[in-house]
Amino acid sequence: MITPNFDEQANFYEKVWGLDRVDVPEEKNTVYFRGAGPEHHIVSLHKGEKRGLHHISFGMVDKNAVDRAAEILKSKGVRITKEPGNLDEAGAGYGLQFVDPENRVIELSAWVEVQTSTWNKKNVDPVKLNHVVMNTKDLDMIVEFYTNVLGFKVTDWSEHQMSFLRCNRKHHSIAFNQDEHASVNHIAYEVDSVDELMRGISNVRKAGLEELWGPGRHGPGDNIFCYFQDPGGFVMEYTCYLETIEDESEWRARVWKRVPHLMDQWGIAGPPKPKARKAMKGDPDPGWVEETVDIR
């Protein structure tokens, strides 16, 4: 993520949200954070004048899968901004970057380094990024691209407002919400239990921030959730127990009604209030520009 509130946001992730900072001394305007899982890092912050998405990374099986993806992307006329090769960035690995139809930078990578250091145990230990949700100006167009070009599958719809897409057994790794502009809607971090999620609420409250929406339990995905807005203005979610797809051959995408008891099955949080919707709307994000293609 690109943020003008670099120091404050970095301190929040480390001191409140529960992530561990990954030391990369040579990078002064970028900071990386790991979760309790083995991934080298799960989020990076980049100092900038306006907040926005820097890039989204998806893991591939191996180098051959990355190379094959490059061939497919080129055959479909997708602009590759970083050709397949060894990645000169924290975590290294082998990968490529391209831009989607709304100018988001997407990275496909393999063989990224794993963490061998000891995790700093806390009362809340986010394991990994569970999913990201992006706002889009054209829901049908972007779903068409992610399914027909990148091979994602539609798991569910929230009427014709949101589409939940999967690339593995998880209900969704990315979702898109129809809005007036492209931007980050929210970023969800997975914790192991509802107990951890509730302790996370306590931690954030003690830091002087209130929950934006939740706690509750979604209909689509069946996951427990609680949303907050970080010091950079991004909406963040603690989540657990996201639904998994046990039999691909039997799954059929459902269309969920946008009614309060399906947005929150518990009936505690209800639908998001105007403040939450405004925060999730985010700022218009123009996306990739030539000058920043080689920094992560």
Gap between the Cα atoms of 226 and 207, Å rounded: 16
CA distance 10 to 231: 9
Confidence at residue 24, expressed as pLDDT on a 0 to 100 scale: 84
The per-residue pLDDT for 283 is: 94
Q: Are 163 and 174 in contact (CB under 8 A)?
A: no
Instruction: Region of 148 please: left (phi>0), alpha (psi -120 to 50) or beta.
Output: alpha
The candidate with the shortest Cα–Cα distance to 215, out of 156, 267, 277, 276, is 267
Distances (CA, A) of 282 to 15, 164, 275: 24, 19, 11
Distance CA 92, CA 70 (A): 18
Instruction: Report all structural domains of the chain as residue ranges with CATH numbers, in order of start.
Output: 2-110 (3.10.180.10), 126-281 (3.10.180.10)
- The answer to whether residues 243 and 223 touch, using CB atoms and an 8 Å cutoff, is yes
Q: Do residues 165 and 153 make contact, with C-beta atoms less than 8 angstroms apart?
A: yes
* Residue 289 confidence (pLDDT): 74
- Residue in the block written with tokens 């807005």: 229
Cβ-contact 56, 187 below 8 angstroms: no
Contacts 24+ apart (CB under 8 A), 90-94: 90/22, 90/24, 90/27, 90/30, 90/32, 90/40, 90/41, 90/44, 90/296, 91/32, 91/40, 91/41, 94/63, 94/66
In this structure, what are the phi and psi dihedrals at residue 167, rounded to the nearest 5 degrees? Answer: -130, 5
The pLDDT value recorded for residue 26 is 75
List Cβ neighbours of 17 (8 Å cut-off, separation of 6 or more).
124, 126, 189, 200, 203, 204, 230, 236
Could you give the 3-state DSSP secondary structure of residue 221? coil
- Which residue numbers in the chain have pLDDT < 70? 290-296
Residue 232 CA to residue 193 CA, distance in Å, equals 26
pLDDT tens-digit readout, 67-110: 999 999 999 999 999 999 999 989 999 999 999 999 999 999 99
Query: What angle is formed at CA 115 by the lines to CA 44 and CA 188, rounded to 5 degrees?
Result: 45
- pLDDT tens column, 175-197: 999 999 999 999 999 999 999 99
Locate 120 and state its tokens: 């700093």
Q: Give the strand pairing for 30-34 and 43-47.
A: antiparallel
